[in-house]
Amino acid sequence: MRKKIVAGNWKMYNDLSETTILLAALKEQVFPEDVNVMVAPAFTNLQYASDTLREHPVTVAAQNMHQSEKGAFTGEVSAVMLKSIGVETVILGHSERRAYFNENSALLAEKVNSALSNNMTAIFCFGEELVDRKAGKHFDVVREQLEDGLFHISEKDWKHIILAYEPVWAIGTGETASPEQAQEIHQFIRKTISENYSEAIAENVSILYGGSVKPANAEEIFGQKDVDGGLIGGASLDAESFIAIVNAF
């Protein structure tokens, strides 16, 4: 059975004192038992978050990592380092990484491999840009991103994968895919996995929607048959709105 997941991507927001305040508010909450709540603070605050949430059901994720386990890669952080502070989940391929840090599918495939070989869970992000959608190419773009970055993994690896469909035109723009648009593409994603792997794998993978999810639209989006939760940016920085989104399930 696939899991319901709400993950907050804090991006390059929240210094240590802001992180402390936000985590304290989340720690007080009793979230619905069937919803897996995750937060992804900046690297500098990961150890604090991991320590403070050690006995708590909220999972701490990193926003990125390098594909190698160690080496002369100034400024980078590896899977081994994340694991050493208790972080076992990592967001890979966020559209901001793809756009501003030149992360392409070949590189992402290597990052996925590093996550899997270190027994981490990867939240694999993908999604089309506005030009693709306007040209009616969104299905092709999404299929290619999956094929090139992810579909080399083995069947057994799928239990360590969470998918996050994030149309670039909806990220941080206030513009959300309609619930019908989200359902249409999530269904397509599941069908594509089923064709390349099996129906069982397609049915068991959680597919999150990301892009301007807020308390006002979360319930309708999460209510779609093939939407298993959300990757939340802006609205995850405010305790009250993030809690409301989790409770929208």
Give the binding site for ligand PGA (CB under 6 A). 9, 166, 171-172, 210-213, 231-235
Quick one: DSSP state of residue 242? Answer: H
Q: Give the active site residue among 66, 88, 94, 186.
A: 94
Helices marked H in 85-233 — which ranges?
95-100, 105-117, 130-134, 138-149, 179-196, 199-204, 215-222
- Report, in Å, the least distance between residue 214 CB and ligand PGA: 8
- 38 versus 201: smaller Cβ distance to ligand PGA: 38
- Report, in Å, the least distance between residue 194 CB and ligand PGA: 25
- 117 versus 173: smaller Cβ distance to ligand PGA: 173
Q: Report the C-alpha gap between 239 and 232 in whole angstroms.
A: 12
- Neighbouring-strand partners of residue 62: 90
**Residue pair 10/236 in contact by the 8 Å Cβ criterion:** yes
DSSP string, 69-105: SSSS-TT---HHHHHHTT--EEEE--HHHHHHS---H
Q: Report the C-alpha gap between 26 and 38 in whole angstroms.
A: 10
Q: Report the C-alpha gap between 235 and 243 in whole angstroms.
A: 10
Q: Is 129 known to be catalytic?
A: no
- 75 versus 174: smaller Cβ distance to ligand PGA: 174
Q: Give the active site residue among 88, 103, 128, 166.
A: 166
Hey, what are 25's tokens?
């508010």
Task: Quote the longest CA-to-CA distance of the chain.
Answer: 48
- Report, in Å, the least distance between residue 93 CB and ligand PGA: 11
Distance of CA 64 to the CA centre of its chain: 11
- 69 versus 220: smaller Cβ distance to ligand PGA: 220
Quick one: DSSP state of residue 159? Answer: G
Q: Is 138 known to be catalytic?
A: no
- Report, in Å, the least distance between residue 232 CB and ligand PGA: 5
Residue nearest to ligand PGA (CB): 233
- 166 versus 226: smaller Cβ distance to ligand PGA: 166
Helices marked H in 135-178 — which ranges?
138-149
- Report, in Å, the least distance between residue 190 CB and ligand PGA: 20
- 35 versus 80: smaller Cβ distance to ligand PGA: 35
- Report, in Å, the least distance between residue 9 CB and ligand PGA: 4
Place of tokens 């064709």: 195
Catalytic residue positions?
94, 166
